[in-house]
C-alpha cells in the first residue's frame, strides 16, 4: 500500500522530533540521517483518511492507531488518522462528504495523495476540486 510509505516517513519524522527534544547533541543518541526540515519544513503534518469496506479489510490499522496515540502522547501534532468503514456508513466519499469532513483542512493543504482503485481516485480528485477543499494544490493519484 503506497500510503504506508507516507506513514513510515512521518513515523521517522516523529522519532527525529522526539529524540531531538529529549536528548541534546552531547548525548550518545544517534539521530536519523534525514534532514526533515529541508524535506518538509517545520509545519509538516500527515492527515490520513483511510476507507475500507469492512473492519477486517483494514490494512495497518494497528500501526496507524498506535502512531496516532504516540503523536498525542508527545504532543507532536504531525499525524492525524481518520478511519471510515464503508459497511458501517451510508455516506459515500462524494463532494458533500468531503466538504463536511475536510473543509477545515483546506487552508493548510499543500499536497494530496489519493490511493485506491482508479475510478475511486478519479472520483475523489474531482470531488476535491469541485468542493474547493484542495483548490490550487497538487493532487497525486498513486
Position 79 confidence tier, pLDDT thresholds 50, 70, 90: very high
- Average per-residue pLDDT for the chain: 80
pLDDT at 23: 59
Name the phi and psi angles at 19, rounded to 5.
-65, -40
Position 66 confidence tier, pLDDT thresholds 50, 70, 90: very high
Grouping H, G, I as helix, E, B as strand and the rest as coil, residue 23 is coil
Grouping H, G, I as helix, E, B as strand and the rest as coil, residue 118 is helix
CA atoms 45, 85, 74, 30: torsion sign: negative
pTM: 0.76
DSSP bridge partners of 141: 114
Cα 90 to Cα 103: distance, rounded to the nearest angstrom: 20
Q: Which alpha helices (DSSP H) does the chain contain, by range?
A: 2-22, 36-40, 61-73, 95-102, 118-131
pLDDT at 57: 86
pLDDT at 2: 67
CA atoms 82, 87, 92, 96: torsion sign: negative
pLDDT at 12: 83
DSSP bridge partners of 112: 139
Q: What is the mean pLDDT of residues 65-70?
A: 92
- For cell 474547493, name the residue: 132
Amino acid at each position: 500500500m503506497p500510503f504506508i510509505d507516507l506513514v513510515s516517513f512521518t513515523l521517522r519524522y516523529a522519532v527525529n522530533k522526539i529524540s531531538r527534544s529529549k536528548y541534546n547533541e552531547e548525548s550518545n543518541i544517534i539521530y536519523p540521517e534525514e534532514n526533515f526540515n529541508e524535506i518538509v519544513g517545520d509545519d509538516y503534518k500527515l492527515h490520513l483518511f483511510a476507507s475500507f469496506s469492512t473492519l477486517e479489510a483494514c490494512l495497518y490499522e494497528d500501526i496507524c492507531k498506535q502512531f496516532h496515540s504516540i503523536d498525542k502522547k508527545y504532543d507532536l501534532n504531525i499525524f492525524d488518522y481518520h478511519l471510515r468503514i464503508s459497511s458501517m456508513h451510508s455516506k459515500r466519499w462524494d463532494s458533500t462528504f468531503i466538504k463536511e469532513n475536510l473543509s477545515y483542512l483546506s487552508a493548510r493543504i499543500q499536497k494530496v495523495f489519493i490511493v485506491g482503485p482508479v475510478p475511486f481516485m478519479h472520483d475523489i480528485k474531482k470531488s476535491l476540486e469541485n468542493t474547493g477543499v484542495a483548490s490550487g494544490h497538487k493532487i497525486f493519484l498513486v
